[in-house]
Amino acid sequence: VASTAAEDDPSPATRSARIGDFDQASANVPEQMRMPSLDVEAPVVSVGVTDDGDMEVPTDVRDVGWYRHGPSPGERGAAVLAGHVDSREQGRGVFFDLRRLDIGSRVVVTDSAGNVQRFEVIARRTYDKPRLPTDALFSRTGPSLLVVITCGGDFDSEAGSYRENVVVYAQPVAARG
């Protein structure tokens, strides 16, 4: 496990991420995401779960997927956003440079009502895919946390996927008077 922050895991207390346990119909649906330090601006689309039980990812590598069965960005618990690093057919994905997002960088999410949520990156971790802490990443309790996920590490040509996941954790930035 690679870490760019303190060894303490920033993820909040955990609960099951199964749809049957929680199916939120949030009024604060995220529509746009920006990471200014990486020059990323992308639409956000709602995603659910595949037949295998994994979180869906957008079909277009330029889109960010928001896990619609969990909290919206800024609400209590972990709001999860995922996107592609790249694709053989479509090229570079929205999170191609996510592994370079520095601690202290800003992530900005705008919802369907025009509300803007600002987050500051507090940690970046790399996990082997089988060791991805999904219960912690999809937590619905605890303080507001934004979790941004993409693929990383070496490409496994036999499996047709990357061996690792890059996960960025960000906390809300307090509004200043």
Q: What is the pLDDT of residues 12-24, one digit of tens each?
A: 333 334 444 344 4
pLDDT at res. 175: 54
Residue 106 one-letter amino acid = R
As a whole number of angstroms, the distance between CA 55 and CA 70 comes to: 11
SS3 assignment, position 138:
coil
Q: Are strands 78-82 and 161-172 parallel, antiparallel or unpaired?
A: unpaired
Q: Is the pTM of this model over 0.85?
A: no
